[in-house]
Amino acid sequence: MSDEISGRTAVITGASSGIGEATARTLAAAGARVALLARREDRIAALATELTTGGASVVAITADVTDRASMQAAAGRVQDELGGADVLVNNAGQMLLAPFSADHAEETRRMVEINLLGAMTTTEVFLDQLRDGGGDIVNISSVAGRIARKGSSVYNATKWGLNGWAEALRQELLPGVRVIVVEPGAVATELADHITHPESQENARASYEEVEALEAQDIADVIAFAVGRPRRVAINEVLIRPAEQPL
Ligand code: NDP
């Protein structure tokens, strides 16, 4: 158990599955109080029950990162019920891959709203809590924030944008708040299941099967390591791929 995690309050968006769920389990096991945010109420409620039974302090908050009012309400509950956020993990995201010319305008806007503006809105509403005593903001970007590929243009743009915003924010908020970017390659989660463009869905599945994908726990371990460092240490950026993934 890291003393830098124990007793702190971690807010995790997209805690209902995949990387967010694994991160919630890992930080709770390390002694953090945890706020689980997502839209699927049944999933976060079940996870909260499991973690609470294990001895953790947990609240499940149904919230949508594209709905500012729901995020403000979430910030109010975290302040009232857990004493305010010390760690924010901006993890909620969608990867709705499709060629830009494939007429997916709604999905284009949805990805920008969730992956980029959602992280900004969440950070805005929790910023005062995070600045009160030294906080950490962990942004889950992607290898897609560093390498552009055809068929991934909008997802690339959201993660590229997240990286640029996070680096400027890091400079603005130091020395009190540490801003961390984690850029995973292929991780075995439900992320690709939501792709609606058939050929892109097939390509994504094939690329996940070409390599032994990372597990969500591998990313959770990186997040816990980064936020568990002594306050003099800032791990700013971590690129983590399956060992066999070429790009
Ligand atoms: P999942 O699909 O398992 O998780 C995505 C999470 O985001 C879900 O918990 C979902 O919860 C939440 N979410 C989606 N839309 C919203 C919204 N509007 N408001 C609140 N929460 C929302 O996939 P991963 O765990 O893989 O993805 C987590 C992050 O990791 C994403 O940002 C993704 O881009 C990134 N990533 C993933 C990689 C991979 O290969 N899996 C690689 C690189 C980065 P709910 O639907 O209940 O709201």
Is any atom of ligand 1 closer than 6 Å to the C-beta of 114? yes
**Residue 237 phi, psi dihedral angles, 5° rounding:** -150, 130
Nearest CA to ligand 1 atom 10: 14
Q: What spacing in Å lies between the alpha carbon of 232 and ligand 1's midpoint?
A: 30
> What mean pLDDT is predicted for residues 208-233?
97
**150 neighbors 144 (Cβ within 8 angstroms):** no
Q: Which residues contact 135 (CB under 8 A, 6 or more apart)?
A: 85, 86, 87, 88, 129, 176, 177, 178
Catalytic positions, please? 155
**Structural domains of the chain ordered from first start:** 9-240 (3.40.50.720)
Is any atom of ligand 1 closer than 6 Å to the C-beta of 84? no
Is any atom of ligand 1 closer than 6 Å to the C-beta of 122? no
How many residues are listed for the chain in this entry?
Answer: 247
Of the chain, the end-to-end C-alpha distance in Å amounts to: 34
3-state SS class at 156 = helix
**What local confidence, expressed as pLDDT, does residue 3 receive?**
74
Is any atom of ligand 1 closer than 6 Å to the C-beta of 34? no
Which of 16, 109, 121, 193 to probe ligand 1 with, by most ligand atoms within 8 A of CB?
16
3-state SS class at 125 = helix
3-state SS class at 191 = helix
Nearest CA to ligand 1 atom 23: 191
Is any atom of ligand 1 closer than 6 Å to the C-beta of 145? no
Instruction: Quick: pLDDT tens for 70-120.
Output: 999 999 999 999 999 999 999 999 999 999 999 999 999 999 999 999 999
Q: In which residue are the tokens 């390599």 written? A: 211
State which ligand 1 atom lies nearest to the alpha carbon of 21: 9
**What local confidence, expressed as pLDDT, does residue 2 receive?**
58
Q: What spacing in Å lies between the alpha carbon of 102 and ligand 1's midpoint?
A: 23
Q: How many CA atoms lie within 13 A of 211 on its CB side?
A: 17
Q: How far is CA 192 from the centre of its chain?
A: 16
State which ligand 1 atom lies nearest to the alpha carbon of 92: 7
Two structure tokens written together for 114: 């969730």
3-state SS class at 213 = coil
State which ligand 1 atom lies nearest to the alpha carbon of 216: 25
Is any atom of ligand 1 closer than 6 Å to the C-beta of 62? no
Nearest CA to ligand 1 atom 3: 18
Instruction: Quick: pLDDT tens for 119-160.
Output: 999 999 999 999 998 999 999 999 999 999 999 999 999 999
The pLDDT of residue 1 is above 70? no
Is any atom of ligand 1 closer than 6 Å to the C-beta of 18? yes
The pLDDT of residue 176 is above 90? yes
**96 neighbors 152 (Cβ within 8 angstroms):** no
Burial status of residue 29 (CB atoms within 10 A of its CB: 0-12, 13-18, 19 or more): middle
**48 neighbors 22 (Cβ within 8 angstroms):** no
> What mean pLDDT is predicted for residues 49-71?
98
Is any atom of ligand 1 closer than 6 Å to the C-beta of 24? no
